[in-house]
Amino acid sequence: MGQRASQVAEELRKIVSMILINDLDDPKLGFITVTRIEVTDDLRLAKIFYSVLGDEQQKELTGEALKDNMGFIKHLTIERINMRYAMDLRFELDASIEHSFKIDTIIKKIKSEEKE
């Protein structure tokens, strides 16, 4: 990702996070965090990675809420970011945090077994 794409990604992360916190009123939306955004160098596509605190059902409901409100989110994003054209937004669940917790648990288990 180039420097301009990185700058746009960071600005987009702030904007989308604020939209999810302040503007989106959907009871299906769980405790969501935008973890990172990848923007193509031509600035036409942004993959928004998010994590959800909760169980699998809460993650599914949050994914549905994002799909249901995509038009609204995209409209507000376009309105708030200063660009010549509208970029395509895609939300993807980021499993890296859960993965790191699982690895941490395994490492702690191995260390405790070594002590015994």
* 96 has a pLDDT exceeding 80: no
Domain ranges (residues) in the chain: 3-115
**Predicted pLDDT at 17:** 94
Backbone phi, psi, residue 3, to 5°: -65, -45
| Gap between the Cα atoms of 68 and 78, Å rounded | 18
Sign of the Cα torsion 68, 82, 41, 37 reads: negative
Q: Grade residue 30 by pLDDT with cuts at 50, 70 and 90.
A: confident
- Please give the share of the chain, as a percent, with pLDDT higher than 70: 100
Lowest mean pLDDT segment, chosen from 6-15, 28-37, 104-113: 104-113
* 98 has a pLDDT exceeding 80: no
| Strand, helix or coil for residue 57 | helix
| Dmax (CA) of the chain | 63
Q: Grade residue 36 by pLDDT with cuts at 50, 70 and 90.
A: very high
User: For the domain 3-115, what is the CATH code?
Assistant: 3.30.300.20
Picking from 12, 7, 9, the residue whose alpha carbon sits closest to that of residue 80 is 12
95 or 90, greater pLDDT: 90
Average pLDDT on 35-43 reads: 92
Considering the entire predicted model, what is its pTM?
0.80
Residue type at 58 in one-letter notation: Q
